[in-house]
Amino acid sequence: MSTPSPDAHPHEDGFDGAAGGDGGGEVAGLTAVIPAGGSGTRLWPLSRQNSPKFLHDFLGTGRSLLQATVDRVRPLAGDRVMVVTGRRHADAVRAQLPDLGAEDLLLEPSPRSSMPAVGWAAAVLERRDPEAVLGSFAADHVIDDEAAFAASLRQAVVAARAGALVTLGIRPRYASTAFGYIELGEARPLPGAPDAHQVRSFVEKPEREVAQGYLEGGRHRWNAGIFVVRAATLLDLLSEEHPEMVRLLRLLAADPGQLEQVWGSLEAVAIDHAVAEPAARSGHVTVVPADLGWDDVGDFASLATLLEERPEHGGVRVLGRSSDVVAQDSTGVVAAHGDRAVVVLGLDEVVVVDTPDALLVTTRERCQDVRGMVATLQQLGREDLT
């Protein structure tokens, strides 16, 4: 495996030069793979196992996060879009994406994390076209600057065709402890990919002081989990540490009838741990730094920053029926999805989520702990609520 050769000069405009615009048109040979999994427990009680966050229209745009993801990649991938999701979500995904071909909806018998999902898609694509390039995009993220996204993705495809596993590194807006980071190495520009850099390392979620240092140092980017790579290259890299998984994935692609026998044997592991981190250590990962207005909509505190402010609600951001929310001298976020009015008076940074069968009241500071409360409900035997 070889890394792209540094045979061009660094881009003079700096790391995020992709913001200059998008050339337009589909990218030949690119397939968008959208792993749609996870229940989004930090957004409970709106997001649940049977109705996960990627199926919801959290931003009030009229499109779910999944639909918005497909809308974003269609101009670059055209009809070459593949979704990998759980069987329990098959009908909902088909309803939201009626143009998705039956052969492009891969249904997991059970959750096995991101590597089996993306690896299965890669094995299928490899059989269709040995030179196919896949881009893996989470189904439940938000990107504001779609022109910058498209321009960065085009650079990533160029680097992927040169043999690299490529990721987009998001310019951090603040010292986040909720995201992993990518440490930039030396510049590895290519014709058509002037902003490419080698990845020095992937960093797990840091402590606050470390994250602040990353922000001030300028050599780290948020890891959004966006990967672009030739399907065959991804499987080759995976085989270096997980050869049995690759054998089973290729078997599954050749004979879909083996799904029940094969799937449970696959190790549940994230693509970052299975491929990206070891490949970075051997110098095979490239990053295209980008400034996209990206957010993973990880909890209600994150969601609040994405919702539109309305004067009638003062400092409270509202999700759902705004006519059912009355707020005074308060800040935070309120989601009204029940059958009653929600009145908030004199509370700072409050989070209120009202649904027909569950009510959540917390603070923006404690939003990351909602997942733990979902686990508590399960321990109490209230799976009907989760």
Describe the strand order of the beta sheet including 315-320 as a list of residue ranges. 315-320, 331-336, 350-354, 359-363
Supply the CATH classification number for the domain 17-295: 3.90.550.10
pLDDT average, residue stretch 319-325? 87
User: In which band, very low, low, confident or very high, does the pLDDT at 23 lie, cut at 50, 70 and 90?
Assistant: low
Q: What is the 3-state secondary structure of 314-331?
A: CEEEEEECHHHEEEECCE
Residue 19 has pLDDT above 50, yes or no: no
Q: How far apart are CA 45 and CA 377, in angstroms?
A: 11
Sorted by where each begins, the domain ranges of the chain are: 17-295, 307-385
Measured CA distances, 163 to 199, 237, 239 (Å): 14, 11, 16
pLDDT for 1-13, tens place per residue? 444 443 333 333 3
**Global confidence as pTM:** 0.90
Q: Select from 268, 269, 273, 189 the least CA-distant residue to 223.
A: 273
pLDDT for 329-379, tens place per residue? 999 999 999 889 999 999 999 999 999 999 999 999 999 999 999 999 999
With both helix axes pointing from N to C terminus, report the angle between 65-77 and 146-161 in degrees, rounded to the nearest 10. 60
pLDDT for 302-314, tens place per residue? 998 899 888 888 8
Residue 217 has pLDDT above 90, yes or no: yes
3-class secondary structure, 189: coil
Share of the chain above pLDDT 70, in %: 94
